[in-house]
Amino acid sequence: MRNYVRLTVVILLFFSSCQKADNTAKVSDELLPEISQRNCAAAEVLEEQLAADPGLAVRMQAIENFTKKAIQDKEVARLMANVTIQIPVVVNVLYRSDDENISDAQIQSQIDVLNEDYQGKNSDLSLVPTVFKQSNQGFPIEFVLKDIVRKKCKQKNWAPNDAMKKSSQGGIDPTDPQHNLNMWSCNLGQSLLGYAQFPGGKEATDGVVILYAAFGSRSKYPGGTFINKYDKGRTATHEVGHWMNLRHIWGDAACGNDLVGDTPPHKTANYGCPGVIPITCPNTTSYTREMTMNYMDYTDDGCMYLFSNGQKDRMMAIFANGGPRYALAQ
């Protein structure tokens, strides 16, 4: 009888451990971070990096000059017409609790969302208003999951100071960032959903950081750990946009410049799921409303579903011969 009981306990423990490893158990909403509106720290992190590294501004200006020339010389158009750029992705999972240790399936759901959004295959693209219909075609980018690196840590949450990217500070060092897009899933603090490093930054910190509960898509993998309003994988779509040289659509200033010619000026960030917002910026005649459904705004996941053609050109330019991410695309 004792042997039977012991065997039963072992079997129960085995199935329990498998369930945790697969991370299919739902997490109580009380345990998830509370985030009332989207917040990305990419611009703030860039300001800190510029202050710490005087050479960064020079490198970024050179990238800006290269981007303009690659678009003007039709190099970007030739690139888009002739190749599909495969981007290998390494996902680094930092976890303190089981719910933060997101499953392989949840991670794959994020890769699937990136491919749909960047290739223009997302189903909600049909919701694009008529005035922006010319900006609804995808472009030849394919994200391929190359590896998943996991590490249990003692850190309760992580600040946007790149510590999660450094093994010396309890994080995970990036894997060959010259040839891979590194993404970190962790319990990001300060009510942040994510942040990314722009081209021109140091290789040792290159990549994208995403809150674990905003990593992936609930609709593609219902068994995952997700936070409401940010459960469609669009945080990564937004942050990878930064990694591919896109700015926030309002230019991080009142009626600021996002360095893209075909995005309407925005007075500031938009949140939630807004209706039609008329252009209120001065000296504007080309547009009548803001492009609130753009991935580089701050709306909820379910209400962002578009990159403009100008944004696509800008992103593709970084992969052109001599561009800052040319080696990655080879």
Which bin fits 216, alpha (ψ -120 to 50), beta or left (φ > 0)?
A: left
How far, in Å, are 86, 130, 145, 160, 181 from residue 49 at the CA level?
28, 40, 28, 12, 20
* Arithmetic mean of pLDDT, 267-291: 94
Pairing of β 141-152 and β 85-95 = parallel
No. of helices (H) and no. of strands (E), the chain: 7, 7
Distance of alpha carbon 155 from alpha carbon 145, whole angstroms: 26
Element (H, E) at 92: strand 85-95
Q: Are 146 and 90 in contact (CB under 8 A)?
A: yes
Query: Is residue 14 pLDDT above 70, yes or no?
Result: no
The model's pLDDT over 74-107, given as tens digits with 9 standing for 90+, comes to: 999 999 998 899 999 999 999 999 999 999 999 9
Is there a domain that residue 22 lies in? no
For residue 33, the tally of other CB atoms under 10 A from its CB is: 17
> Cα(309)–Cα(306) distance, rounded to whole angstroms?
10
Ranges 130-139, 170-179, 303-312: which has the least confidence? 130-139
Give the tens place of pLDDT for each residue, 157-167.
Answer: 999 999 999 99
Structure tokens at 285: 């005649």
Mean pLDDT of the chain: 90
Tokens for 66?
A: 């290269």
The answer to whether the CB of 71 falls within 8 A of the CB of 314 is yes
Domain that holds residue 83: 53-252
Q: What is the mean pLDDT of residues 319-327?
A: 95
- Are 124 and 135 in contact, with CB atoms under 8 Å apart? no
Residues involved in catalysis: 239
In a domain, 17, yes or no: no
Helix (H, G, I), strand (E, B) or coil at 115: helix
Q: Number of folded domains in the chain? A: 1
What CATH number is associated with residue 73? 3.40.390.10
Q: What is the pLDDT of residues 287-316, one digit of tens each?
A: 999 999 999 999 999 999 999 999 999 999
pTM for the structure as a whole: 0.91
